[in-house]
Amino acid sequence: MARVIIVSNRVPIPKSRGASAGGLTVALRDLLTPGTVWFGWSGRLSADPSLQPAIVEARGVTYATIDLKAETYRGFYVGFANGTLWPLLHFRLGLMQYRQEDYDDYLSVNRLFAESLRTMLQPDDTVWAHDYHLVPFARMLRQQGFRGPLGFFLHVPFVPPSMLEALPVGRELVADLCAYDLVGFQTEEHARDFRDCAQRLLGATVRGEWVRLNGRSMRAFADPIGIDAEGFHQEAQRAENDSLVKRVAGSLAGRALAIGVDRMDYSKGLPQRFEAYGRLFERHPEHRRQVHFLQICPRSREEVDEYRKLRIELDRLTGRINGRFSEFDWTPLRYSARAAPRSTLAGLYRIGRIGLVTPLRDGMNLVAKEFVAAQSDEDPGVLVLSQFAGAAQELTEALIINPFDPDAIADAMHHALIMPAPERKERHQALKEKVFRTTAQAYCARFMDALLSIKAQSIPRVAA
Ligand code: GDG
């Protein structure tokens, strides 16, 4: 039987029946039919990792994982993936650090993944790899002799050639992406930037979505990711009765709730958002005492220096805003650096009058879609959305702002707070229609159709 093999850095092994799923799992859930294999890192470090993956079967899906060595993990994950590629792909050249040793570790982990997966591959398998940790994986799997269809989806943005050139191994990365048969991006802009890089940096020939390099063709297209909108909507409806959500609603005492939910990451524009919240009270003092801003911000990648600095900065800004604007019976900013259960999030979005999604750069941003899906039709909240989130390409009825401009964010919050119900409903209906159309299921189906149609057309997949 032809199987789909999903490959990603981390593998979300279900711990028990009905265990909660992360973003990638939710997006790929429809693919997780019996027979599917999900391969990647176990999350464990060991001195002498085995090539043979450890296998866990759950509901017909095979989860296959390998351990990594501590030294290579550091260079691969903390170094090249999150210290080099993540800042580069989020347009933060000033934060990019490059060390050849890290890149070597990145290549060796990709090689290890390919060698290990090879031990369990069958000739008619289809392989779909995910995200910036696995750019060279296709080349290495081909070196292992695999000839089946190989797809890749980049969850984060891509950059134009002038920016990619700053990376000493930028050309290698583009060439490695070209070794896939199909590469999916969140937006047309990212797909075009990649094709431009292939043309300008490697001399590839580009025709429409097709890129031809060294006698073989591949396709680079936009396939925006989505959420399980109906499932999330129902979860939000149920969560209105969650005791914590009810307590939060009660504690607002009739004030409006603005909500932000982000991994603690410098790409999410959090200091600017906090700053903007203070500006709201300066520019529109009538909102003092009338609003609470709740920011949920689970800590992330704390091994990377820049993330530790961000945490200190957010602690400082929280103190400054609350010190400056609090009154004895009103604390304007509630900030939690811990993760909340998914159902609680759904309920909090639903009682939110404003959803604040203001990244400086973001592949898509699922929080924007979750906020929309969670709203009620009768009394919907307003989404304030960065023009630099992939989601802004679709969700044009949100209040679109430039996240580098705190005054613009403050004015959008003001606009949201005074927006009459008919306008809120009209905007919400338009947004809802889109979020319920471009779902996770649609995203998966589009990708698999495109990958399998490349197979059917027998376009040369392997360089001569
Ligand atoms: C990458 C790209 C792209 C957040 N806090 C909690 C929590 N979350 C959940 C959200 C959402 C997910 O995590 C975050 O997804 P985003 O899309 O917002 O951002 P990244 O993590 O940066 O994801 C991004 C995405 O991949 C998918 O392709 O959209 O552009 O950067 O689902 O709800 N979940 C729980 N507790 C929290 O405290 N349970």
pLDDT per residue as tens digits for the range 213-224? 999 999 999 999
Tokens of 360: 């400086």
- State the average pLDDT over residues 358-363: 98
CB 364 within 8 Å of CB 389: yes
Q: Is 339 in the pocket of ligand 1 (CB under 6 A)?
A: yes
Return the structure tokens found at 243: 């005791």
Amino acid 402: pLDDT:
98
CA-closest candidate to residue 133, choices 161, 160, 162, 103? 103
Report which protein residue has its CA nearest ligand 1's atom 34. Answer: 342
Residue type (1 letter), 270: L
pLDDT (tens digit per residue) in 370-390: 999 999 999 999 999 999 999
Q: Where are the alpha helices (DSSP H) in 337-439?
A: 342-351, 366-374, 406-418, 421-437
pLDDT tens-place string over residues 216-257:
999 999 999 999 999 999 999 999 999 999 999 999 999 999
Give me the chain's average pLDDT, please.
94
- Residues 7-17: what's their mean pLDDT? 81
Q: How confident is the model at residue 86 (pLDDT cuts 50, 70, 90)?
A: very high
Least confident stretch, 19-28, 213-222, 378-387, 419-428 = 19-28
3-state secondary structure of 145: coil
Ligand 1 atom 10: residue of nearest CA: 367
Q: What is the mean pLDDT of residues 47-66?
A: 93
pLDDT value, residue 458: 54
| Strand extents, DSSP E, 49-141 | 54-58, 61-68, 126-130
Res. 22: pLDDT tops 80: no
11 lines ligand 1 (CB under 6 A): no
Q: Is the CB of 28 under 6 A from ligand 1?
A: no
Q: Helix 229-239 to helix 342-351 angle, to the nearest 10 degrees?
A: 80
Strand 37-45 with 54-58, pairing = unpaired
Alpha-carbon distance 391 to 395, whole Å? Answer: 6
Residue 155 in contact with ligand 1 by CB distance below 6 A? yes
Range in 21-30, 237-246, 310-319, 413-422 with the lowest mean pLDDT: 21-30
> Which pLDDT tens digit goes with each residue over 434-444?
999 999 999 99
- Interface ipTM: 0.99
* Active site residue ranges: 155, 362
Q: Which atom of ligand 1 is nearest to the CA of 268?
A: 22
4-226+441-456 to CATH, choices 3.40.50.300, 3.40.640.10, 3.40.50.2000, 2.40.100.10:
3.40.50.2000
* pLDDT tens digits along 155-186: 999 999 999 999 999 999 999 999 999 999 99
With tokens 């199909």, the residue in question is 182
pLDDT tens figures, 311-339: 999 999 999 999 999 999 999 999 999 99
Residue 300 has a pLDDT of 86
- Average of per-residue pLDDT across 382-404: 98
Amino acid identity of residue 230, one-letter, is E
3-state secondary structure of 131: coil
> Which atom of ligand 1 sits closest to the CA of residue 300?
21
Say how far apart CA 139 and CA 180 lie, in whole Å.
8
Q: Which amino acid is at 69?
A: K
pLDDT at position 18 is 45
Specify the pLDDT at position 5.
97
Residue 1 has a pLDDT of 66
Strand partners, 333: 293
Q: Where are the alpha helices (DSSP H) in 220-359?
A: 229-239, 243-251, 270-283, 305-325, 342-351
DSSP state of 266: G
Indicate the range of 9-13, 196-200, 348-352, 456-460 predicted with least confidence: 456-460
Percentage, residues of the chain above pLDDT 70: 96
Of 229, 244, 316, 251, which is closest to residue 278 (Cα–Cα)?
Answer: 316
Atom 39 of ligand 1: nearest residue by CA position: 342
Please answer whether residues 190 and 222 qualify as being in contact, where contact means their C-beta atoms are separated by less than 8 angstroms.
yes
Residue 463 has pLDDT above 80, yes or no: no
pLDDT at 356 exceeding the cut of 60: yes
- Residue 52 to residue 297: CA distance in whole angstroms: 37
Provide, rounded to the nearest whole percent, the portion of the chain with pLDDT above 90.
Answer: 88
* Helix, strand, coil share (%) of the chain residues, nearest 5: 45, 20, 35
What's the CA-to-centroid distance between 61 and ligand 1, angstroms? 24
Query: Which two three-digit tokens encode residue 26?
Result: 């939710």
Range list of β-strands (E), 168-290: 182-185, 205-207, 210-213, 216-222, 256-261
Q: How many CB atoms lie within 10 A of CB 458?
A: 7
pLDDT band, very low/low/confident/very high, at 23 (cuts 50, 70, 90):
low
Count of beta carbons in the 10 Å neighbourhood of residue 20: 13
CATH class of 229-436: alpha beta
Delimit the CATH 3.40.50.2000 region(s) of the chain: 4-226+441-456, 229-436
pTM, rounded to two decimals: 0.95
CB 79 within 8 A of CB 106: yes
Q: What's the start-to-end Cα distance of the chain, in Å?
A: 28
